[in-house]
Every structure is written in structure tokens, then in C-alpha cells.
Amino acid sequence: MPKAKLVTIFGGSGFVGRYIARRMAQEGWRVRVAVRRPNDAIYVRPYGVVGQVEPVFCNIRDDDSVRDVLRGADAAVNCVGVLAETGKNTFEAVQQEGAARVARIAAELETPRLIQISAIGADADSDSAYARTKAAGEKAILDAYPQAIILRPSIIFGPEDEFFNRFGKMARMGPVLPVVGASTRFQPVYVDDVAQAAVKGVLGQAAPGIYELGGPDVNTFRELMVYMLSVIRRRCLIVNVPFWAASIMGRGFDLLQKLSFDMIDPAITRDQVANLRRDNVVGDGVKTFADLGIEPTSLEAVVPEYLWRFRPSGQYSDIKQSAQNLPGN
């Protein structure tokens, strides 16, 4: 019996990576989950049968480390990225140099397929270092590995997301919900749809190139917060923080993070403010989910299933509401 094929997923225990790992295991592939802390990624093992999904150590900033986890792989998926810089994990080191390293070594080892998870908004001329390094990483990948598939999702939602969960927590803390860039438009995309797109790339069911991935609806930041509040059944005053004020706040949080030696997680950074100035939606004339034969999932089909815990009565909200509708109440 032929040995099952092997895929190496860099950042395979992260938000997007774990969904790709699960789907690849379901496809019958062996899955090598390349992470900095394998002991913290043990939860990926049950995605497959015994020994099918294994977390292994890898530092994407080191050639030998990347080469070790790519050796023998039939495909590679790079999900590694950072939303805020901490220590040596800078945007340049991870999203530019790290991505370039994976592509260069994948080409050197003749790894048959390479899929990169990037982001809508990747732009070499952006004011945001996050967006610039995403673009630089994409260029380096295509220079070293021209047949690569690059996926650019809009903001990603799902049970473990850092978007709706974050603002759901904030809504529990007080009557005011501050947002930066209330009119900025997003096209939220379900995490498992992104994973499905990556799997099609691994299986050779997608043509090389860049794909921009967005959900079925385009919403402003404010509209997304209004929807989120309706799901968690809370009332908050949504206050738009002007970009100039948010930049000052971001500068302060950046300084506080440095002074604390990265012990404090900043509420917002200057770079995130710069990123929020631009819409995050699928462009015109680009490859999309339609080219992959995938119909994107709506917010309404998923978000209520995991945001219920932010409701005033948590999992008992529906029961409490039903009781209020009983005769005599």
C-alpha cells in the first residue's frame, strides 16, 4: 500500500492553520504542523488517526529549521503572520523574510506545491508595515516559486477569531464601544472557506496565481458592530474614534509595549490604524472563490453559533427569552 502524502503546514496550530490541518487529515494526508511550541499544539493530533497529524518544531526565521520540516513534503502551506510585532517576530522577519525563506527552500527541495496565506490589502506602497511586508513576502515567493498559490482573505471570522470575539468582550465591559474607521469596508470570510481554498491548492485543484477571498457581503466596520451587538443582545453606543486620535493612542500603546518588554498586549497600534484607513474588500478583475468553485459562507450562518457566550445570560439567553413569552409574564 503506498504511503500517504505529506503536507507541511507552517503555523498549522493557528486560527487558519488548524482548519487546513483538519481538512488535510480528512483527505487522508499525513500532516506536519510546523510551530515554535509543539507542546502547545498537541490538540491538533486528534484531527486524524494516531500518528497522522503531528506538531513539530520550526522557527520560520531559520533556514535549517525550515529545511528540516519541508524535507519529504509533497506540499507546503504557510499560514504564519503577525498582527502586531513582538520581540524578534517583526513584520519584516516573519511576513517578508520568513515567507521568502519558505519559498526558496521549497524550490530548492523541489516541493511540488506551495500555498501562501496572505491578506487583502497587501501593497508595497501602503502606509502600513503589515501591508507592505505582506506584499514583499508575496513578491519574494513568486520570484523563488512562480507556481505558488497565494490566498488573500479579507478579515476572517470563526469561533477562534480575534475580531468578533474581541469586540464581544469589549461590549460586556461598558455602554460604549469605540471603533477606529467606522466607515471602512470589510468583506468578512469564514475561516473554513479559506481552509477549503488552501486544500484545493494542495490537491492540485487550483491554478497557480493570486486569489482574493471575501464573503458574500460587504459591510462597514460600524455595520459589523451593529450586527455583532444584535447577536449578543446588548446595547452599546458605537463611537467612531477619529484616525488622528487613534494614531496618538497607537503611538502610546506602542511605547507602552516597548517599555514593558512586550509583556503588554496593545489595544491598538499605529500600524493597525494605518491599515484601517483602507477598505478591505475583493478587488475587480481578480481570481476569487468563484474560480475555486467555492460558495462563501455568510456571517449569519456561523457567528451566532459562537458569540452566544457574550449574551447577558450566556447559553441560557434563549431559555430566558422563551420563558418571558409564556402566558402570565
* Per-residue confidence in pLDDT tens, the chain, 329 aa: 567 899 999 999 999 999 999 999 999 999 999 999 999 999 999 999 999 999 999 999 999 999 999 999 999 999 999 988 888 889 999 999 999 999 999 999 999 999 999 999 999 999 999 999 999 999 999 999 999 999 999 999 999 999 999 999 999 999 999 999 999 999 999 999 999 999 999 999 999 999 999 999 999 999 999 999 999 999 999 999 999 999 999 999 888 888 887 777 788 999 999 999 999 999 999 999 999 999 999 999 999 999 999 999 766 556 555 545 556 55
Written as one string, the DSSP assignment of 21-40 is HHHHHHTT-EEEEEES-GGG
Looking at residue 329, its pLDDT comes to 56
Please give the span between the terminal C-alpha atoms of the chain, in angstroms, as a whole number: 67
Three-state DSSP class for residue 213: strand
Quick one: which of 15, 275, 267 has its CA closest to 131? Answer: 275
Tell me the C-alpha to C-alpha distance, in Å, between residue 42 and each of 29, 33, 60, 108: 18, 10, 19, 30
Cα distance between residue 62 and residue 253, in whole Å: 30
Cα distance between residue 56 and residue 42, in whole Å: 10
Quick one: which of 250, 111, 120 has its CA closest to 180? Answer: 250
- CB neighbours of residue 156 within 10 Å: 24
β-pairing, 6-10 vs 75-78, is parallel
Q: Which domains does the chain have, with CATH numbers?
A: 6-160+188-215+281-294 (3.40.50.720)
Cα distance between residue 5 and residue 7, in whole Å: 7
Looking at residue 21, its pLDDT comes to 98
CA 117, 39, 161, 177 dihedral sign is negative
Q: At what angle do helices 221-232 and 164-173 cross, to 10 degrees?
A: 60
Looking at residue 324, its pLDDT comes to 55
Looking at residue 318, its pLDDT comes to 60
Cα distance between residue 102 and residue 320, in whole Å: 52
- CB neighbours of residue 14 within 10 Å: 20
**Helices assigned H by DSSP within the chain:** 17-26, 63-70, 91, 99-108, 129-144, 164-173, 191-202, 221-232, 243-259, 270-275, 289-292, 304-307, 317-324
Cell numbers at 36, concatenated: 515554535
**Helices assigned H by DSSP within 71-211:** 91, 99-108, 129-144, 164-173, 191-202
Quick one: which of 89, 239, 75, 221 has its CA closest to 147? Answer: 75
Quick one: which of 145, 304, 143 has its CA closest to 233? Answer: 304
Cα distance between residue 148 and residue 76, in whole Å: 10
Amino acid at the residue 196: Q
Looking at residue 317, its pLDDT comes to 57
Looking at residue 80, its pLDDT comes to 95
Looking at residue 256, its pLDDT comes to 85
Cell numbers at 66, concatenated: 525550515
Answer yes or no: pTM beyond 0.75: yes
Cell numbers at 220, concatenated: 462597514
